[in-house]
Amino acid sequence: MTLVAVLGAGALLVGCTGSDDEAGAGTELTFFIFNEPSGAYQEAATKCSQESNGQYHITFEFLPASADAQREQLVRRLGAEDDTIDIVGMDIIWTAEFANAGFVEPWSDADAQAVTENVFDSVVESATYEDTLYAAPFTSNTQLLWYRKDRVQQPPRTWDEMIAEAERIGPAEGLIQVQANRYEGFTVLATAMIESAGAQILAGPTEVALEQAPTERALEVLGQFARSPVAPPDIDTSTEDTARLSFEAGGSSFMLNYPFVYPSASENAPDVFEQMGSALYPRIDADKPSRPPLGGIHLGVSAYSNNKDLTFEAIKCLVQPDNQITAATLGGLPPVREDLYGTKELDKAYPGFSDLIKRSIDNAAPRPLTPAYTDVSLAIQRSLHPPGDIDPQDVGSVYDDLYDAVDKAVQREGLF
Amino acid sequence: MEAGAAAGKLTKRTHSERRLGWLLCAPAVVAMLLVTAYPIGYAIVLSVQEVDLRFPEEGGWVGLSNYESVLTSGLWWQDLFNTLFITVISVALELALGMVIALIMYRAIFGRGIVRTAVLIPYGIVTVVAAFSWFYAFNPDTGFVNQLPLIADDKAWFGERFSSFAVIIMAEVWKTTPFMALLLLAGLTTIDDGLYEAAKVDGASAWQRFWRITLPLMKPAILVALLFRTLDAFRIFDTIFIMTRGAQDTESVSILGFNQLISRLNLGLGSAVSVLIFLCVLIIAYLFVRGLGVRMAEGRPGT
């Protein structure tokens, strides 16, 4: 009985594989990327597979939603030289690490030129390591300041103005939503504030910058905000999603977050959506432009792929302008090409704020470019979390901790 | 003389029996060596090298310097303290609750099967799933806990160290108390009912019967249960990983090892942490087994 059942199951499996092969023609290329909910990536992949005239067809393996978890799965496979990955969907912060580890292939000058044409400088920089392009920019992202038009006359330009305005409204309706759980999102917040103050995290892959005066100024503002009554009660565990949910619930007047919150509010909280305004990321000092966070996805060719040439071809197709527009209109993911802003489609995807997104990406500061990025990020998180512990009157010791931790991180010493 | 001859004869027989025993065990021993000794050995080899997947060109033997980095880091000692704190509190609570549940299961007159099965359900749930349910229950956005009376609506449980510890320990206790109860129940069933009847005839109270008969006779079972649970609790990972990822100073040594190995891809440093965790587990096991041996000898009649 059992034997028959096993044989039957075997035949069924064989049957399945057979019919799968008929679905796509040509070499199968596997695309490892997070499961983008709108299906924009799948649409691009289907289109490219069709246009390849039977040369390849792209199949997906989905990674988890959080960047940390995506990276964990990818590095475990790449570290074991897994040849089932062809296209690597990379968060922009992994470029230096994956390049130095030899996980992804460098791009030839000709191909590099083709895939970086009209792409924002800040984005190209984040895909480059030691003057070589290691991944093709696909979709970008940046944080904006979202505010309630019914409670705020004019969007604040600086953190100080924002905190003052929120305190005037009061904590019942004036909370400022950010991401300050101890995870990558907190590094994003701290880095954006430090860079907006005019400092840099690193001067080179193994060299700390963190100029003292501006860094201390940023830490002061961070501590002041975290200790103010308008910091949300769950600030130490806040993420992109808890911030979005709290803002949609109505008790907040400000939020720093990615543009995905806009379509989300229109679906979940129409009343809040009506009153949602957007502005550039707040400055630290009134006279210095802010450096908003930069996010996004680059596409790399796995060093262990058996079909590297075809994978390069497939990526060149995936990053085509019309696929970027699809990603923007379906998934709200901002294009990496400057020339697409101002088109009809983009104005429809970001009603009234497509130019704002363009300026934000233009001014954005890439996070530190070093193969030891994870160490640097953990160092920032460990030395600055929880932000409420930063005494704005006395940031000297926190600054020293931060400097030492980042220095150890780039030297790759000690535990994090 | 006679005794000696008997011993010689026995030895011969024992010898061949032992050989057969080894032969029968050999496949299992080989499998164990492959799946446990090899990774442990490999971890030890990695721990004395500089190996970082992100820097494939660097590397080489570095002696004990990885261990030095770990042991001189305040983080290791902090995390070791956190781990011991969680271990001691959760195992103590599990022992007390487990004993109560074991007694109830033992005394249950009707529905014995249902009671025993129902109690085991939490232990059957995957740790990650259990951790997520507790996480969402205590999360201010999604949870019901903050809606309960006497609890502030905006209490951020995972925003502060001791409330985080409290939820982590509660989740651990909830999940593994059934296991503890089951081991204790096994110990309870070995006690001869006649002893209780004799004690009753002598006029011993219920408390005296528990304290003077149940506990002493269950000592070996209790120690085995404690050993299993302590070793298990010391390696706590899933619950903390889901709830705080080690934030608010709730990190355990296993999370520390994970951070070095998977997040930083620093295999040398991470292996050193893993080997140190292994040594801690060995020390705990040694202390328990020694304690266990001594007490078992004490309990034996005529010694």
pLDDT in tens, A200-254: 999 988 899 999 999 999 999 999 999 999 999 889 889 998 899 999 999 999 9
Partners of B269 on chain A (C-beta within 8 Å) are 415
| B90: its two tokens | 């959760």
Q: Which residue of A has its CA nearest to B156?
A: A234
Of A76, A237, A372, nearest to B54 by CB-CB distance is A372
Question: For A74, which residue in chain B has the nearest alpha carbon?
Answer: B262
pLDDT tier at A11 (50, 70, 90 boundaries)? very low
| Site of tokens 């989740």 | B171
Mutant choice from A94, A237, A374 vs B, greatest count of B C-beta within 10 A? A237
Give the pLDDT confidence score for residue A234 in this predicted structure.
86
CB atoms within 10 A of CB A338: 15
Candidate from A182, A233, A242 with C-beta closest to B247: A182
Q: Considering only the beta carbons, identify the residue of A68, A76, A415 that sits closest to B69.
A: A415
Searching chain A, which residue's CA lies closest to the CA of residue B248? A386
Q: What is the mean pLDDT of residues A335-359?
A: 93
B253 CB-near residues (< 8 Å, 6+ apart) = B76, B79, B80, B83, B234, B273, B276, B277, B280
Note the pLDDT tens digit of each residue in A15-70.
344 334 445 678 999 999 999 888 999 999 999 999 999 999 999 999 998 888 89
Burial class of residue A137, CB neighbours in 10 A (0-12, 13-18, 19+):
buried
In 3D, which of A340, A363, A349 has the Cα closest to residue A142? A363
3-class state of residue B41 by DSSP: helix
Is the CB of A183 less than 8 angstroms away from the CB of B158? Answer: no
Nearest to B247 among A75, A76, A385 (CB): A385
Computed over its alpha carbons, how large is the radius of gyration of chain A? Answer: 23
pLDDT at B293: 62
Q: Does residue B204 belong to the interface with chain A, where contact is any CB pair within 8 Å? A: no
Amino acid at the residue A406: V
Using an 8 Å Cβ cutoff, are A388 and A235 in contact? yes
The residues near B214 (Cβ < 8 Å, ≥ 6 apart) are B188, B191
When pLDDT is cut at 50, 70 and 90, the band that residue A1 belongs to is very low
Instruction: Inform me whether the C-beta atom of residue B53 falls under 8 Å from chain A C-beta atoms.
Output: yes
Contacts of A370 in chain B (CB under 8 A): none
- Residue A140 CB coordination number (10 Å): 29
Per-residue pLDDT, B292: 67
Cβ-nearest to A242 among B141, B260, B266? B141
B262–A76: do the CB atoms touch at under 8 Å?
Answer: yes
Q: What is the mean pLDDT of each run of 10 residues along chain B (303 residues)?
A: 52 87 92 91 95 88 93 94 97 95 85 84 93 91 84 84 95 94 90 90 90 88 90 94 90 95 92 96 89 52 38
Instruction: Tell me whether residues A414 and B69 touch, CB distance under 8 A.
Output: yes
Is A100 in contact with B55 (Cβ distance < 8 A)?
yes
CA pair distance B229, B169, nearest whole angstrom: 13
Q: Which of A233, A237, A374 sits opposite B263 (nearest CB)?
A: A374
Output the pLDDT for position B89: 97
User: CB distance A100–B263 less than 8 Å?
Assistant: no
Provide the shortest C-alpha distance from residue B241 to chain A (in Å). Answer: 12
pLDDT of residue A413: 84
The confidence band for A326, taking pLDDT boundaries of 50, 70 and 90, is: very high
Rounded to a whole number of angstroms, the distance from the CA of B51 to the nearest CA of chain A is 11
Looking at CA atoms only, how far is residue B271 from chain A in angstroms? 12
As to burial, measured by CB atoms within 10 angstroms (0-12 exposed, 13-18 middle, 19+ buried), residue B162 is exposed
Asked if the Cβ–Cβ distance from A237 to B156 is below 8 Å, we say yes
* Residue A242 to residue B264, Cβ atoms within 8 A: no
If one counts every other C-beta atom within 10 angstroms of the C-beta of residue B81, the result is 12
Chain A, nearest residue to B74 by Cα: A415
User: How many whole angstroms separate alpha carbon B34 and alpha carbon B239?
Assistant: 29
Single out the residue of A106, A78, A102, A221 nearest to residue A156, CA to CA.
A221
Q: Edge-to-edge strand order for the sheet containing A87-91?
A: A56-63, A27-34, A87-91, A294-301, A136-142
Please tell me which of the candidates B70, B140, B259 has its beta carbon nearest to residue A234: B140
Give the pLDDT confidence score for residue A58 in this predicted structure. Answer: 96
Residue in A closest to B270 by C-alpha = A415
B154 vs A233: CB contact, 8 Å cut-off?
A: yes
Amino acid at A79: G
Distance from CA of B69 to the nearest CA of A (A): 5
Cβ atoms within 10 Å of B11's Cβ, excluding its own: 10
Whether residue A386 has a cis bond before it, omega within 30° of 0: yes
Nearest CB partner across the interface for A101, out of B54, B247, B269? B54
Tokens for A270?
A: 């129409």
- Give residue B31's pLDDT: 93
Q: Which residues of A touch B272 (CB under 8 A)?
A: none
Share of chain A above pLDDT 90, in %: 84
Between chains, do B264 and A374 touch, taking CB under 8 Å as contact?
yes
All residues at 6 or more sequence positions from A278 whose CB lies less than 8 Å from its CB, including other chains: A144, A145, A146, A147, A155, A262, A352, A353, A356
Residues of chain A whose C-beta is under 8 A from some C-beta in B? 68, 72, 75-76, 79, 97, 100-102, 181-183, 233-237, 242, 245-246, 371-372, 374-375, 378, 385-386, 412-416
Kindly identify which residue of chain B lies nearest to residue A76, measuring between CA atoms. Answer: B262
The Cα angle at residue A156 between residues A366 and A179, in degrees rounded to 5: 45
* Closest-CA residue of chain B to A388: B159
Look at residue B9 in the predicted model and tell me its pLDDT: 60
Residues sharing a CB contact under 8 Å with residue A150, sequence separation 6 or more, in sequence order: A275
pLDDT digits (tens, 9 = 90+) for B67-84: 999 999 999 999 999 999
User: What confidence tens digit (pLDDT) does each residue in A271-297 have?
Assistant: 999 999 999 999 999 999 999 999 999
Residues of B in contact with A181 (CB under 8 A): 247
Average pLDDT, rounded, for chain A: 91
Q: Work out the minimum CA distance from B277 to partner chain A, whole angstroms.
A: 15
Mean local confidence (pLDDT), A297-301: 97
Please identify which residue in the block is written with the tokens 């496979």: A77
**A414 has pLDDT over 90:** no
Are the C-beta atoms of A412 and B266 separated by less than 8 Å? yes
List of chain A residues whose C-beta atoms are within 8 Å of the C-beta of residue B156: 233-234, 236-237
From the list A101, A102, A234, the residue facing B159 with the nearest CB is A234
Across A12-21, A172-181, A242-251, A350-359, least confident range: A12-21
C-alpha to C-alpha distance for A99 and B152, rounded to whole angstroms: 49
Chain B residue with CA closest to A244: the answer is B141
Bridge partners, residue A277, by sequence: A147
Give the best residue of A246, A415, A416 to mutate against chain B (max B CB count within 10 A).
Answer: A415
Number of cross-chain residue pairs from A and B with Cβ atoms under 8 Å apart:
90
Do B247 and A236 lie within an 8 Å CB cutoff? yes
Question: Could you tell me the maximum CA-CA distance found in chain A, to the nearest angstrom?
Answer: 81
Tell me, yes or no, if B266 comes closer than 8 A to chain A by beta carbon.
yes
Distance of alpha carbon B17 from alpha carbon B30, whole angstroms: 20
**The two structure tokens encoding residue B50:** 């500089």
